[in-house]
Amino acid sequence: MATPERFRRLWETLLPVGRDPAGGWVRYSWSEADLACRRWFAEQAAARDLVLETDRNGNLFAWWGDPRAPDAVVTGSHLDSVPHGGAYDGPLGVVSALLAVDVLRERGVRPRRPVAVAVFTEEEGSRFGVACLGSRLLTGAIDPDHVRTLRDLDGVSLAGAMAAAGVAPEGIGPDPERLARIGAFVELHIEQGRRLVELDAPVGVASAIWPHGRWRMDITGEGNHAGTTRMSDRRDPMLTAAYAVLAANKEARLRGCHATVGRIEVTPNATNAVPASVVAWLDARAPDRAALEALVEAVRVRVRERAGRDGTTVTMTAESVTPPVEFDAGLRDRLSGLLGAPVLPTAAGHDAGVLAAHVPAAMLFVRNPTGVSHAPGEAATDEDCAAGVAALADVLAELAG
């Protein structure tokens, strides 16, 4: 049975991995912490006699049933994190999937379809910049030659990081044969908001994901002395970046969208120097594709115009753009009926959203009392997590049992 105590016992075996003294969890893909998460997953798979596979993109699959058989029911999420993120975003879906397998076995369920627990690589894009990297590669949504050249902040390429972890980077890319064997994908995830609190429900079913993306703004000016350079002589890229932050916020508010500049890099990053250049990342999300395009275009126009006044130059490059996702309506209705759970949309990206373009996909959300996510304040009670496990077990039994 899915109990809070059982959830807690397994949860605590993963909890210390990547916990950062400065707060939250730091589990970047292919880092020491990520490798420890992968070892943890391998141990959990072995303890359950699940057959572990690492696919050519570094995604992990632990199989209950024949990995070669068609029409598999796959469930899972990711173990990587944003910088100093919360505990639940990603790991809750993996831990719940393992526990759901335990519950089904105890119930004596013998699946007609193979079941797999999956862990996708670099869902957050925190190291190499592209969100849902593992699922995008698997589904062919991104060019592997481009991906091999992606570099982290220390200049390490994705190819180098994978090779150092013992996974051949030459093999990354679309895996149509594997994808064709997935008959359905269900991702359980912490809710990243408070809708389930408002609805007084421990578990919900996803309806859709807002289109969203990341744009890198490279702003170049002229490095100079902070004390001696006359204000009128400056070409300060920080002014353009500051304006970009405000413009993004204003345009998003006016349009009922979301826009954030949460990351900025300043060169040379000296207190007594006018910066030479600034890189700022825009994260933009909107209810529909046209609104997203209009939002990003409005920010682009405003920032260009401001750069003209600042004597700087700006280029805006899309790093990853995700189209809107409508989850499979049949599956959504079947699951919400089965669970008696409310249906809600989200503006967060997920591997389930990437897979949804290829296989019937669904998501379950577990109530988050703080509503906080991508920060250490992310929360769930063990009771709600146990309810999530029970719901996922019911879903797997319905689909595969």
- Strand intervals (E) in 286-375: 313-322, 325-326, 343-346, 361-366
Residues in Cβ contact with 97 at an 8 Å cutoff, skipping those fewer than 6 apart: 75, 76, 77, 117, 118, 188, 392
For Mn ion, which is the closer residue by CB, 261 or 366? 366
Q: What is the smallest separation between the CB atom of 123 and Mn ion, expressed in angstroms?
A: 5
Of these partners, Mn ion, ligand GLV, none, which one is at the site of residue 191 (CB under 5 to 8 Å by kind)?
none
275, interface contact from Mn ion, ligand GLV, none, CB < 5-8 Å by kind: none
Least distance to ligand GLV from the beta carbon of 108, Å?
36
Q: How far is the CB of 260 from ligand GLV (least distance, A)?
A: 10
Q: Which two tokens stand for residue 273?
A: 């120097």
Residue 90 binding partner per list ligand GLV, Mn ion, none, with a CB distance cut-off of 5 to 8 Å that depends on partner kind: Mn ion
Least distance CB 227 / Mn ion (angstroms): 42
Q: Report residue 189 CA to chain centroid gap.
A: 10
* Shortest distance, position 350 Cβ to Mn ion, whole Å: 6
Rounded-to-10 torsion of CA 156, 162, 166, 172? -150
Region of 256 on the Ramachandran plot (φ > 0 left; ψ -120 to 50 alpha; else beta): left
Residue 326 C-beta: closest distance to ligand GLV, Å: 17
Tell me the backbone φ, ψ of residue 218, rounded to 5 degrees.
-95, 115
Contact 58, 112 (CB under 8 A): no
**Per-residue interface string for the shown chain with ligand GLV, residues 298-337, x marking contact by CB under 6 A:** ----------------------------------------
Tell me the C-alpha distance between 23 and 85, whole Å: 8
Toward ligand GLV, which CB reaches closer, 124 or 394? 124
Residue numbers 344-373 binding ligand GLV by CB under 6 A: 348-349
Which CB atom, from 34 or from 89, has the smaller least distance to Mn ion?
A: 89
Bridge partners (DSSP) listed for residue 119: 60, 77
Give whichever of 331 and 354 is closer to ligand GLV, judged by the CB atom: 354
Alpha-carbon gap, residue 287 to 214, rounded angstroms: 16
For strand 182-190 and strand 361-366, is the pairing parallel, antiparallel, or unpaired?
parallel
Nearest to ligand GLV of 71, 319 (CB atom):
319
Q: Is 93 in the site for ligand GLV (CB under 6 A)?
A: no
Radius of gyration of the chain measured on its C-alpha atoms: 22
Residue 349's binding partner among ligand GLV, Mn ion, none (Cβ under 5 to 8 angstroms by kind) is ligand GLV
Closest approach, Cβ 374 to Mn ion, in A, equals 6
Q: From the list 94, 100, 116, 131, which residue makes contact with ligand GLV (rule: CB under 6 A)?
A: 131
| Between 24 and 349, CB nearer to ligand GLV | 349
DSSP secondary structure letter of residue 57:
T
Site of interaction with Mn ion (CB under 5 A): 89-90
Distance in Å, CB of 81 to Mn ion, minimum: 8
In 108-192, DSSP assigns E strands to 115-120, 182-190
The distance of closest approach from Cβ of residue 201 to Mn ion in the complex, given in angstroms and rounded to an integer, is 20
For 254, the token pair is: 């006016």
Question: What is the spatial distance between Cα 79 and Cα 72, in angstroms, rounded to a whole number?
Answer: 22
Closest by Cα among 39, 31, 32 to 14: 39
Residue whose CB is nearest to Mn ion in the complex, by number: 89
Q: Which two tokens stand for residue 337?
A: 């009926």
Q: Which is nearer to Mn ion, 131 or 295 (CB)?
A: 131
Per CB under 6 A, residues contacting ligand GLV are 124, 131, 348-349
